[in-house]
């Protein structure tokens, strides 16, 4: 019965090759083995399926070569080999399948050039070669594919110039993706394409310096991506006609200048990315019917435009960062309750934050970093139950952290660093904000002890209290911060989702401040530097085996560096400078293979440096200065004095004592004896009674010694003669 089967769909069935290879499918027209995790070469038994018209092997682990027998499948109309592990060149034989309509080879490792006989695929409508390792030039025969509708060759290593010849007969082309190649588009300013595109993606291709004239002929264009395409021009007047139809536009990372054009968008899902250009002037209004607006990293100035919300009912993302906007944060933003992401960072905003921001109940991200905003943090922000990321760093906020923020139970990032906040660290942070991964309170005026409740923040991976007036000791329970124990990488999507926003965190690592974005997954950090913390470094901190940065510098810490510090195998940066630490540098420190920055200066450390490959590369003398008891390389002080060696007992047996103590004991006996004799003789000279008594006693001792000697000699003589 199976021999007459025409269609077999085994997608998502967890089937393997051995279980089906013996079945007779000689009449099969369609075979779907997609999404099964099959790891194999294309099996030879497929060569019997000579009637096959549709072959779908999508999302498996097929590898090796494309077998030659596929060339004999003259009826094949559709082949989907995408998302596998083919690592061979793109075979010419596929171009001999004259009935092929759909060819999908994307997301593999096909290499080498696109076959020159590509033009033989006279019926091809869908050609997807994206996300491979294809190289070389685009064959001119591409222009012969008159039925081609969808072309995707993006994300390869293709080079060369695309000219009008490549598109001669592409009358039906509606989707073209060329992005992420080293291609240049060289068209005449008078060229009229034979096609009408709906989608055109050419990010990272060389299209400039002028804006491509032929685009004004594309009346059906809905999505356009010309980001990073070397355009150094102003937008032409005709471009406003495109804006009236387009639903997704990306012109970012060019050098487009002039004023922003007028937007007359009709799509409620309009996405506008105009960031990282040279647009200037004021922003009169927000573009209407826009969902995503990114104008960051330009030269805009003036105030935020006013809005009553009716023209922007679906506005979810506003990114105006890295511009020159002034004035206060507008209360008009409160009239757009759909806002999810609000980024106004790195501008010149001043004044106080409006309380009505608490009305933006859909807000998940608010970023006001690097402005001059004053006043208190509005207590109304505590009503933003969906807030995941709060960035107020580097402003002039003052007063206490409002208790209402304890309601932000979904908060993952809270950055209040470099402000004028004061008071004690709120204990409720540890009791209520249990999803915190990044907590930055540095460079404020916080006082008091570190609350023990912070030890309940099990998700915490980056914590900074640096540059405050914190007193007391480091809580031992910090050793229970399980988020700093993991050595696997943190992935933002597993913690929370934020539309069109890339999380960023500032951290002081290796003596410099860094902003972590794409590398945020590598950041596990504890920074308590520049406070008045006392006591010893708790041994429990050595449980935080996922730490990459530990900074306890500029405090009043005493005692020894924990001998188990070598357990922090992931540590890349260690700063314990400017404390009162004493004793030896632990030998285990030399086992930290990733340690590239260390500062132990200005403590009371002593003894010889530990031996080890990695620590010997840290030979900058400034990181050890101010520890006068250290000896041996890399410092100049030798551990030998007059060939008398400094020696120590094993570190596991105790601290040990320096044998040079014996040297200095004997060296001091001579001067001491002389001083004692002079003192005695001086007393006898000036005191007659002492002098008479002294010499009388001395004479008696002499007589007693002489009598004893004579008696012992007489006894000895008698024994000899006997």
Report the pLDDT value the prediction gives residue 494, as an integer from 0 to 100.
37
Tokens of 15: 């089937």
What are the domain boundaries of the chain?
327-495+521-554, 557-645, 687-721
Span 266-282, average pLDDT: 85
Q: Between these two residues, 600 and 660, which has the higher pLDDT value? A: 600
Domain 557-645 has CATH 3.90.1150.10: no
The region of weakest confidence among 23-27, 177-181, 236-240 is 23-27
**Cα 539–Cα 544–Cα 546 angle in degrees, nearest 5:** 150
- Count of residues in the chain: 722
Report the pLDDT value the prediction gives residue 251, as an integer from 0 to 100.
96
The region of weakest confidence among 375-379, 528-532, 641-645 is 641-645
| Cβ(57)–Cβ(81) below 8 Å | yes
SS (H, E, C) 514-565: EEECCCHHHCCEEECCCCCCECECCHHHHHCCCCCEEECCCCCCEEECCHHH
Span 701-710, average pLDDT: 57
| Three-state SS at 47 | helix
pLDDT confidence tier of residue 695, bands split at 50, 70 and 90: low
Give 237's contacts (C-beta < 8 A, 6+ positions apart).
none
SS (H, E, C) 216-280: HHCCCCCEEECCCCCCCCECCCCHHHHHCCCCEEECCCCCCEECCCCCCCCCCCEEEECCCCEEE
Q: What are phi and psi of 455, to 5 degrees?
A: -70, -10
Q: Between these two residues, 241 and 596, which has the higher pLDDT value? A: 596
Q: Between these two residues, 76 and 649, which has the higher pLDDT value? A: 76
User: In 274-336, where do the E strands start and end?
Assistant: 278-282, 290-294, 299-302, 317-319, 324-325
Tokens of 441: 């309170």
pLDDT confidence tier of residue 248, bands split at 50, 70 and 90: very high
Q: Which residue has the tokens 């004999």?
A: 72
Q: How far apart are CA 86 and CA 64, in angstroms?
A: 6
Q: How far apart are CA 158 and CA 182, in angstroms?
A: 6
Tens digits of per-residue pLDDT, 348-376? 999 999 999 999 999 999 999 999 999 99
Report the pLDDT value the prediction gives residue 270, as an integer from 0 to 100.
87
| Three-state SS at 148 | coil
Q: Could you tell me whether strands 61-63 and 580-583 are parallel, antiparallel, or unpaired per DSSP bridges?
A: unpaired
Q: Which residue has the tokens 């096909």?
A: 110
Give 707's contacts (C-beta < 8 A, 6+ positions apart).
none
Q: How far apart are CA 429 and CA 50, in angstroms?
A: 68
- Mean pLDDT, the chain, integer: 86
User: Is the per-residue pLDDT at 496 higher than 60?
Assistant: no
Tokens of 509: 């690592």
CB neighbourhood size of 579 (10 A): 25
Task: Please give the full DSSP string across 370-410, using - where no structure is assigned.
Answer: SSEEEEEPPGGGGG-TT--EEE--SSEEEEPPPGGGGG-TT
pLDDT confidence tier of residue 662, bands split at 50, 70 and 90: very low
Report the pLDDT value the prediction gives residue 127, as an integer from 0 to 100.
97
Q: How far apart are CA 507 and CA 458, in angstroms?
A: 20
Span 600-606, average pLDDT: 95
Residue 702: DSSP 8-state: H
Tens digits of per-residue pLDDT, 398-444? 999 999 999 999 999 999 999 999 999 999 999 999 999 999 999 99
Q: How far apart are CA 255 and CA 630, in angstroms?
A: 56
Report the pLDDT value the prediction gives residue 24, as an integer from 0 to 100.
65
Q: How many helices (H) and strands (E) does the chain have?
A: 4, 48
Domain 327-495+521-554 has CATH 3.80.10.10: yes
Span 658-662, average pLDDT: 43
Report the pLDDT value the prediction gives residue 647, as an integer from 0 to 100.
36
Tell which residue, 476, 426, 477, has the closest CA to residue 447. 426
Report the pLDDT value the prediction gives residue 363, as an integer from 0 to 100.
96
Q: How far apart are CA 486 and CA 488, in angstroms?
A: 6
SS (H, E, C) 196-210: CCCEEECCCCECCCC
Q: How far apart are CA 480 and CA 457, in angstroms?
A: 9
Q: What are phi and psi of 239, to 5 degrees?
A: -65, -25
């Amino acid at each position: 019965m199976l021999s007459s089967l025409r269609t077999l769909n085994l997608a998502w069935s967890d089937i393997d090759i051995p279980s089906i290879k013996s079945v007779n499918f000689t009449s099969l027209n369609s075979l779907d083995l997609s999404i099964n995790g099959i790891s194999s070469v294309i099996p030879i038994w497929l060569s019997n399926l000579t009637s096959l018209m549709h072959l779908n092997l999508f999302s498996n682990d097929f590898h090796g070569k494309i077998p030659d027998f596929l060339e004999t499948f003259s009826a094949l109309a559709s082949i989907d080999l995408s998302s596998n592990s083919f690592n061979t060149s793109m075979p010419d034989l596929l171009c001999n399948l004259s009935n092929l309509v759909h060819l999908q080879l994307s997301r593999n490792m096909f290499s080498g050039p696109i076959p020159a006989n590509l033009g033989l695929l006279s019926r091809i409508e869908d050609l997807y070669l994206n996300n491979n390792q294809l190289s070389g030039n685009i064959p001119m025969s591409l222009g012969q594919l008159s039925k081609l509708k969808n072309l995707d060759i993006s994300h390869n290593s293709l080079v060369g110039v695309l000219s009008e010849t490549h598109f001669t007969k592409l009358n039906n082309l509606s989707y073209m993706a060329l992005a992420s190649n080293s291609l240049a588009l060289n068209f005449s300013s008078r060229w009229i394409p034979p096609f009408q595109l709906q989608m055109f993606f050419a990010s990272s291709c060389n299209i400039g310096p002028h804006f491509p004239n032929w685009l004004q002929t594309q009346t059906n264009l809905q999505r356009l991506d010309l980001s990073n395409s070397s355009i150094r021009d102003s937008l032409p007047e005709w471009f406003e006609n495109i804006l009236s139809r387009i639903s997704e536009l990306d012109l970012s990372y060019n050098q487009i200048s002039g004023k922003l054009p007028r937007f007359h968008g009709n799509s409620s899902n309009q996405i506008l990315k105009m960031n990282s250009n040279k647009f200037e002037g004021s922003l009169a209004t927000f573009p209407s019917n826009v969902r995503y607006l990114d104008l960051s990293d330009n030269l805009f100035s003036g105030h935020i435009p006013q809005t009553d919300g009716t023209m922007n009912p679906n506005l979810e993302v506003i990114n105006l960062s890295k511009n020159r906007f002034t004035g206060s944060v507008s209360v008009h933003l409160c009239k757009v309750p759909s806002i999810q992401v609000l980024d106004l960072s790195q501008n010149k905003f001043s004044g106080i934050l409006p309380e009505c921001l608490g009305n933006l109940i859909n807000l998940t991200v608010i970023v006001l970093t690097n402005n001059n905003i004053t006043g208190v943090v509005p207590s109304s922000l505590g009503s933003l139950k969906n807030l995941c990321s709060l960035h107020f760093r580097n402003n002039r906020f003052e007063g206490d952290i409002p208790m209402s923020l304890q309601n932000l139970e979904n908060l993952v990032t809270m950055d209040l660093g470099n402000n004028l906040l004061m008071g004690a660290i709120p204990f409720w942070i540890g009791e209520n904000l249990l999803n915190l991964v990044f907590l930055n309170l540095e460079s404020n005026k916080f006082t008091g002890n570190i609350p023990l409740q912070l030890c309940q923040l099990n998700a915490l991976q980056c914590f900074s209290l640096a540059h405050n007036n914190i007193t007391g000791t480091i809580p031992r329970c910090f050793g229970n911060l399980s988020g700093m124990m993991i050595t696997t990488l943190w992935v933002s999507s597993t913690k929370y989702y934020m539309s069109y926003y890339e999380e960023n965190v500032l951290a002081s690592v290796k003596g410099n401040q860094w902003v972590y974005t794409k590398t945020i997954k590598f950041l596990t950090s504890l920074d308590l530097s520049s406070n008045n913390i006392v006591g010893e470094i708790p041994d429990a901190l050595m449980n935080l085996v996922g730490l990459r940065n530990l900074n306890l510098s500029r405090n009043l810490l005493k005692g020894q560096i924990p001998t188990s510090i070598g357990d922090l195998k992931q540590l890349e940066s260690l700063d314990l400078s400017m404390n009162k630490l004493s004793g030896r540098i632990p030998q285990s420190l030399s086992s930290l293979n990733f340690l590239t920055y260390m500062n132990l200066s200005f403590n009371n450390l002593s003894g010889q440096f530990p031996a080890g490959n990695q620590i010997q590369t840290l030979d900058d003398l400034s990181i050890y200065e101010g520890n006068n008891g250290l000896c041996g390389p890399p410092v100049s002080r030798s551990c030998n004095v007059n060939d008398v060696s400094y020696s120590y007992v094993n570190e596991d047996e105790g601290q040990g004592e320096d044998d040079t103590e014996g040297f200095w004991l004997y060296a001091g006996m001579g001067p001491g004896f002389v001083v004692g004799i002079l003192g005695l003789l001086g007393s006898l000279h000036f005191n007659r009674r002492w002098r008479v008594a002294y010499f009388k006693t001395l004479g008696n001792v002499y007589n007693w010694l002489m009598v004893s000697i004579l008696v012992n000699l007489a006894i000895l003589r008698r024994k000899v003669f006997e």
